């Protein structure tokens, strides 16, 4: 597991890259699409802030709740693994949706 600091940096870099791409799309898109590009940038900022605010969580059990230290460490490790996995999945789902919207605005979306 990466540190929380590294995870926050990674989230900021990803969201910053998305905003950079949105700005490029804004430069080449028609005036009618400018509001959509602006909304995409706002949605990216909201994603960044909401994800970073969810990074700090803690295991709600203590050592005394378990038979031994090994069981406590295993339960704590499993809790953090599941929590970070859920955070990762939620973040990636929204990033995919943002990228899909970016591609539509840029005219790069796949035609089904």
Is residue 20 assigned to a domain?
yes
Residue bearing tokens 């940096």: 9
In this prediction, residue 59 carries a pLDDT of 87
Is residue 112 assigned to a domain?
no
Domain count for the chain, please give it.
Answer: 1
Query: Per-residue confidence of the chain (112 residues) as pLDDT tens digits?
Result: 568 899 999 999 999 999 999 999 999 888 888 999 999 999 999 999 999 999 988 888 888 888 999 999 999 999 999 999 999 999 999 999 999 999 998 887 555 4
Determine contact, residues 47/15, Cβ cutoff 8 Å: yes
Question: Domain range for residue 101?
Answer: 4-106
In this prediction, residue 74 carries a pLDDT of 93
Two tokens, residue 89:
């999945």
Is residue 56 assigned to a domain?
yes
Is residue 53 assigned to a domain?
yes
Two tokens, residue 75:
């339960």
Is residue 87 assigned to a domain?
yes
Rounded distance, CA 72 to CA 61, Å? 8
pTM score above 0.85: no
Is residue 34 assigned to a domain?
yes
Is residue 79 assigned to a domain?
yes
């Amino acid at each position: 597991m990466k540190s929380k600091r590294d995870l926050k940096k990674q989230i900021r870099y990803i969201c910053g890259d998305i905003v950079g791409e949105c700005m490029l799309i804004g430069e080449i898109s028609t005036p009618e699409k400018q509001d959509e590009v602006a909304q995409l940038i706002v949605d990216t900022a909201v994603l960044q802030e909401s994800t970073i605010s969810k990074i700090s969580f803690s295991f709600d059990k203590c050592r005394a709740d378990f038979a031994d230290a090994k069981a406590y460490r295993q339960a704590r490790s499993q809790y953090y693994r599941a929590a970070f996995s859920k955070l990762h999945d939620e973040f990636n789902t929204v990033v995919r949706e943002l990228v899909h919207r970016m591609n539509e605005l840029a005219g790069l979306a796949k035609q089904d």
